[in-house]
Structure 1
Amino acid sequence: MTRTLRALMGATALTAAGFALAAQAETITIATVNNGDMIRMQGLTSHFTDMHPDIEVEWVTLEENVLRQNVTTDIATGGGQYDVITIGTYEVPIWGANDWLLSLDDLGDEYNVDDLLPAVRGGLTVDGTLYASPFYGESSMVMYRTDLMEAAGLEMPDEPSWEFIREAAAAMTDRENEIYGICLRGKAGWGENMAFLTAMGNSFGARWFDMDWRPQFDSEAWHNTLTFYIDMMNEYGPPGASNNGFNENLALFQTGKCGMWIDATVAASFVTNPDDSDVADSVGFALAPDNGLGRRGNWLWAWNLAIPASSDAPEAAREFIAWATGPGYTELVASEEGWANVPPGTRTSLYENQEYLDAAPFAEMTLRSMQAADPTNPAVDPVPYTGVQFVAIPEFAGLGTEVGQLFSAALAGQMSADEALEQAQELATEEMEAAGY
C-alpha cells in the first residue's frame, strides 16, 4: 500500500470519526426560572459547549410559578421532558426521598462539595445523599434608598423593627412623583407572596400549624401579620401591588419608584448595577425586620439544579451541573461581569474572597441574613415542620398557593384580612384532614 493511499485512508477514518462524534452528540434540555442570574447563565452557555462539543443545550426559561407547575407535572409523571431542572429547597428533600431525582454525590474533585455553605448543603441532602446542586443561595433583607432615607431625616438601623419600617415608608412616600415608601410581594403563589408573608409571620409569632398539625390562621398572630402588611401596603405601597412579585418589584426599585424593598438578597447585585439600576449609587442594606419576639422576617432559599430520574442523558446533565454550579463558573462570571455579579450564597470560599467582598457592598449583610434563618426552628412557638418561608410537606405547594390567592385578594380589596384568614383556616383544615395529618 502506498504512503499516499495510507494517508487518504487515515484522513477518511478521521472524517468518519468526526461524523460519528457529531452523530453521538447528546442534547440536554434545561428548565429554569427567568431570574437575572439564570438568564446570565444561559448567555454563558457557549463556554460550556466549547468545552463539551459532544453536548448540545436547549433552554426552557419560564416565569417562576409556571416553571414550578411544569416541572412538578413532568417529574411526578416521569415525563422525561427535561434533563436539568431548576428547583428550590422546598422540592429537593421531598423529591429526593421519592426517588424522583438522581444523586449528585459525584460531581468531580474540582466541584469541591465541602465548600458549600453547611445550611444550604443540608437542605439539599437526604439520608446523606446530595440530590441537587445550589446555583445561588439567598435570604431576604431590606434594600432601601439612602438618599430618600436621608431626606426623610431618618437613619436605617442594621436591625430594624417593623414599626421603624412603617415609619420610614410613611416618610418616604411621595405619590405625586410616583415614589412609594415600601414595595413588597403581592402576587399569589406559595413561592411569591406566601414566601414573604410566611417569613414575616414568623417574626410576628405566627405559624402555619401547631405541634398537632392544626392550622393556625385563626390566631391573633396571623391577624396582626396580615393587617399590618395590608394597611402598610395600602397606605405606602404602589398601585396594583397584588400583581407584583419579585421581578415586578425589582423593576420598580431599579427605576427609583421604591423607597424600600424587602426581598431576596440575590437582588442586591441587580439594584447596585449602574447598567441596570437608576439608583445604583444610593442603595443601602439592612437585616429583615423583627417585632421584638426573637425572630426576623427573613427566609432561607436556594435555586438549585437537579437531574430528574426520567432523564435520558444523565451523564451530560451531570457535566453541565458540575460546570454551572462549580467554582470555575464563579470565576467565569467575575471575569465577564465583575465580582459583584457572581451567584451568591452557596460557597464559603466566596465570603473569604477579598475581591468579592470589596466589590459587593451587600456581601456581609447577605451572609448575616442567611445565618439568621433557622429552618429547623423558624417560628416563635414550636412547629412540627422544617422550612422558614415554606412548610416542607408535599401538600404545601397547592395549599400555599390557595392561601396566597386569598391573601392577594385581601390586598386587592376584594375581601377583608379577617375574611381571608377565616377562609384560609377552613381550607387548611380540610386539606390537612384529607391528607391524614
Structure 2
Amino acid sequence: MNTIKTLLTGTALSLCALPALAQQEVVWWDFLAGGDGVRMKALIERFNEEHPDIQITGTTLEWGVPFYTKVRTSAAVGQGPDVMTYHLSRLPLGLEEGVLTKITDEDLETAGLSKDDFYDRAIDAASGPDGDLYAVPFDIHSIVLYYNKSFLEGSRFLDDQGNLTGIESLEDFEEALALAKENGSQAPVSYATGDDGGTYRVFFTLLRQQDGELITDGEPLAGDNLEKAVRAIEIMTKWTEEGWQPEQAEYEASVALFTSGKSAFHMNGVWEVPTMTDMAEEGTLGFEWGAVQVPTLMDTQTTWADSHAFAIPVQGDEEMSEEKRDAVMTVIGWMEENAISWADAGHIPAYLPVAESDEFQSMEPNATYSSLADTASYDPRSEVAGVASPVYDAAINIISPAIHGYLDPQQAAEQIKSSLTDVMD
C-alpha cells in the first residue's frame, strides 16, 4: 500500500512539474492613429482577453513612408512583426521589395476564412500577378460625398426624407454647388486642395469615372488617358475659378470648413464619419448632415478606394513556425469576424458575412454608401502608386498648383506623365 501511495504521489508531483501550455506571442505593427487607433487597440484588448493562449503585443508606427520604410528594413534583417496592417495600394511595391509572404488556402482555413468571404475587388487588390494572396482585406475605405442639408433645403437636391438626390452628372453637381454658394456657402465643396491625398483622390476619381487609366502596361497616361487627365484637372480648376472650393486647404482646414457649416459638400474618406457622428451627438455640428457614394459625375460610377489589410512579412532568412503562423491566422480570423467594431469608424467591412449582416445594414451612413464596394477603383498595380508614393507626390507638386491656376491643365497632365515615367525608368 505504501509503495502504491508513493508511486501515485510521485506521479502527481511529476504532473505538477510539467510546464503549462506555451503561450504564443504575436508581435503586431500598425499605422493607425486617431479614431482608427482607438478602435484597433480596443479590438486587440478584446482578443487578448478572449485568448489566454495567444497574446498580441501591439506597436503603432508613423503612417506613410516611415511605416513602409521600417517594414522593408526590418524584413531584410528578420526583425519585423509577425503580422501588420498594410494598404492594398502598396501591395505591388511590397511584392517588388519581397517583404510579403504568401497566404495560402490552408492559412485561410486555419483562420476560418476563404477568398469567397470577401468582396471580389478587395481580393483582387490583395493578390499578386501570380494569383496568390499576399494579404487579407479588412475593409474598403473610399472618399464619399458628405453634405450639409441646410444649404439645399427647398431645392430639387433633397427628397421628402431630406436625403440627397438629383445629382446624376457633373452638370447636376455644379448646379448644386452654384445653389449652395447663392445660399451663403463660403466653400460649396471642400476637400484637401493643398494636400497630396485629398487632391489625388478627387483627381483619380474623376479620371476613373471617364474610364481613364493612370498607368497602363507600365506606361503613365498612355493614349487618350492624357486627355482624360487634362479633363479631370480642368474640372477641379473650374471649381477654384468659380469660388466653389477652398484654395490650398490643408487636410484639417478642409474638414473644419464643413464641420463649421461653411461648406455644403465635403469630399473625404469614410474615416471622418465618426467626426460628424460625434459632433452631431454632442450638439456641436449645428446642421443635419448625410454621406453618400460620390455620384456619377462623368461616364462611369466608380470612386477611388483602398483597403486596410493584414499581411505577414518576410523574416529575413527565417521561416515562421507552424505554431506561430496558426496563432497569426487565428488573430486575423477573429479580427474579420469582429469587423463590425471597425465599421464603427466609417469603414465598409471587406468580410462579407459582416458587411451583409443586419447589424451593418442598419449602420448609417455606412449602409447608404456601402454600394461603392462593388464599383471601387483601387490604385493601378504599380510600384509608383499607392499610399505615400510618387503618384501622391505628383498630386501635391503638379495637380494642386494646376487647380489653383499656377499651371495649365494640359501642361500639368504632361508633367504627371513625365514625372511618373522618370521614376519608373
Alignment partner, residue 310 of structure 1:
315
62-71 vs 396-405, which deviates more?
62-71
Whether the 8 Å CA contact 1:144–1:260 is kept in 2: the answer is: yes
1:126-141 residue pairs with structure 2 within 5 A? 126=128, 127-141=130-144
1:32-47 residue pairs with structure 2 within 5 A? 32-34=31-33, 36-47=35-46
Alignment partner, residue 28 of structure 1:
27
Query: Structure 1 length normalisation: TM-score?
Result: 0.75
Alpha-carbon distance in structure 1 between the residues aligned to 2:264 and 2:357? 31
Q: Secondary structure at the match of 2:307?
A: strand
1:33-72 residue pairs with structure 2 within 5 A? 33-34=32-33, 36-53=35-52, 54-64=54-64, 66-72=66-72
Q: Secondary structure at the match of 2:349?
A: coil
Alpha-carbon distance in structure 1 between the residues aligned to 2:347 and 2:56? 24
Whether the 8 Å CA contact 2:302–2:375 is kept in 1: the answer is: no
- CA shift for structure 1 position 340: 5.3
- CA shift for structure 1 position 129: 3.0
Check if 1:125 corresponds to 2:134. Answer: no
Alpha-carbon distance in structure 2 between the residues aligned to 1:281 and 1:119? 35
Alpha-carbon distance in structure 1 between the residues aligned to 2:422 and 2:266? 35
Cα gap change, 1:79/1:259 in structure 2, threshold over 3 Å: closer, same or farther? farther
Q: Which of residues 243, 246, 250 in structure 2 aligns to 1:238?
A: 246
User: 1:232-253: per-residue Cα shift (whole Å, max 9, x none)?
Assistant: 1461223541x32xx6645554
Cα gap change, 1:84/1:111 in structure 2, threshold over 3 Å: closer, same or farther? same
- CA shift for structure 1 position 207: 3.5
Q: Which amino acid aligns with 1:180?
A: A
Q: Quote the sequence identity (%).
A: 18
Whether the 8 Å CA contact 1:154–1:168 is kept in 2: the answer is: yes
Q: Secondary structure at the match of 1:141?
A: strand
Cα gap change, 1:412/1:80 in structure 2, threshold over 3 Å: closer, same or farther? farther
Whether the 8 Å CA contact 1:174–1:180 is kept in 2: the answer is: no
RMSD: 4.0
Alignment partner, residue 193 of structure 1:
199
Alpha-carbon distance in structure 1 between the residues aligned to 2:404 and 2:345? 35
Alignment partner, residue 391 of structure 2:
400
Whether the 8 Å CA contact 1:139–1:366 is kept in 2: the answer is: no
- CA shift for structure 1 position 185: 3.4
Alpha-carbon distance in structure 2 between the residues aligned to 1:104 and 1:300? 23
Q: Which of residues 407, 411, 419 in structure 2 aligns to 1:427?
A: 419
Cα gap change, 1:249/1:136 in structure 2, threshold over 3 Å: closer, same or farther? farther
Alpha-carbon distance in structure 2 between the residues aligned to 1:108 and 1:220? 46
Cα gap change, 1:212/1:42 in structure 2, threshold over 3 Å: closer, same or farther? closer
User: 1:217-264: per-residue Cα shift (whole Å, max 9, x none)?
Assistant: 9944322211321331461223541x32xx664555445443212233
349-358 vs 263-272, which deviates more?
263-272
Q: Which of residues 152, 162, 171 in structure 2 aligns to 1:163?
A: 171
- CA shift for structure 1 position 182: 0.8
Cα gap change, 1:60/1:238 in structure 2, threshold over 3 Å: closer, same or farther? same
1:32-431 residue pairs with structure 2 within 5 A? 32-34=31-33, 36-53=35-52, 54-64=54-64, 66-72=66-72, 74-75=74-75, 77=76, 80-92=79-91, 95-96=94-95, 99-105=98-104, 106-108=107-109, 111-113=112-114, 114-126=116-128, 127-150=130-153, 154-155=157-158, 156-157=164-165, 159-173=167-181, 179-189=186-196, 192-204=198-210, 206-209=212-215, 213=219, 215-216=221-222, 219-233=226-240, 235-241=243-249, 243-244=250-251, 249-250=254-255, 252-265=257-270, 267-268=272-273, 270-273=275-278, 274-275=280-281, 278-279=284-285, 282-292=288-298, 294-296=299-301, 298-310=303-315, 315=325, 316-325=327-336, 327=337, 329-330=338-339, 333=341, 343-367=347-371, 369-373=372-376, 388-396=377-385, 398-406=389-397, 407-411=399-403, 415-431=407-423
Alpha-carbon distance in structure 2 between the residues aligned to 1:161 and 1:14? 74
Alpha-carbon distance in structure 1 between the residues aligned to 2:255 and 2:10? 61
Q: Which amino acid aligns with 2:57?
A: V
Whether the 8 Å CA contact 2:148–2:289 is kept in 1: the answer is: yes
Whether the 8 Å CA contact 1:183–1:258 is kept in 2: the answer is: yes
Whether the 8 Å CA contact 2:90–2:385 is kept in 1: the answer is: no
Structure 2, unmatched stretches of 5+, are 159-163
Whether the 8 Å CA contact 1:139–1:301 is kept in 2: the answer is: yes
User: 1:130-169: per-residue Cα shift (whole Å, max 9, x none)?
Assistant: 2211121134332212222216664343653223223323
Q: Which amino acid aligns with 2:165?
A: P
- CA shift for structure 1 position 117: 1.8
Structure 1, unmatched stretches of 5+, are 374-387
User: 1:268-290: per-residue Cα shift (whole Å, max 9, x none)?
Assistant: 45534544784497223443233
Q: Secondary structure at the match of 1:103?
A: coil
Cα gap change, 1:73/1:233 in structure 2, threshold over 3 Å: closer, same or farther? farther
Whether the 8 Å CA contact 1:157–1:286 is kept in 2: the answer is: no
Q: Which amino acid aligns with 1:296?
A: Q
Cα gap change, 1:35/1:131 in structure 2, threshold over 3 Å: closer, same or farther? farther
Q: Which amino acid aligns with 1:196?
A: V
Alpha-carbon distance in structure 1 between the residues aligned to 2:72 and 2:358? 40
Whether the 8 Å CA contact 2:189–2:245 is kept in 1: the answer is: yes
Alpha-carbon distance in structure 1 between the residues aligned to 2:166 and 2:136? 31
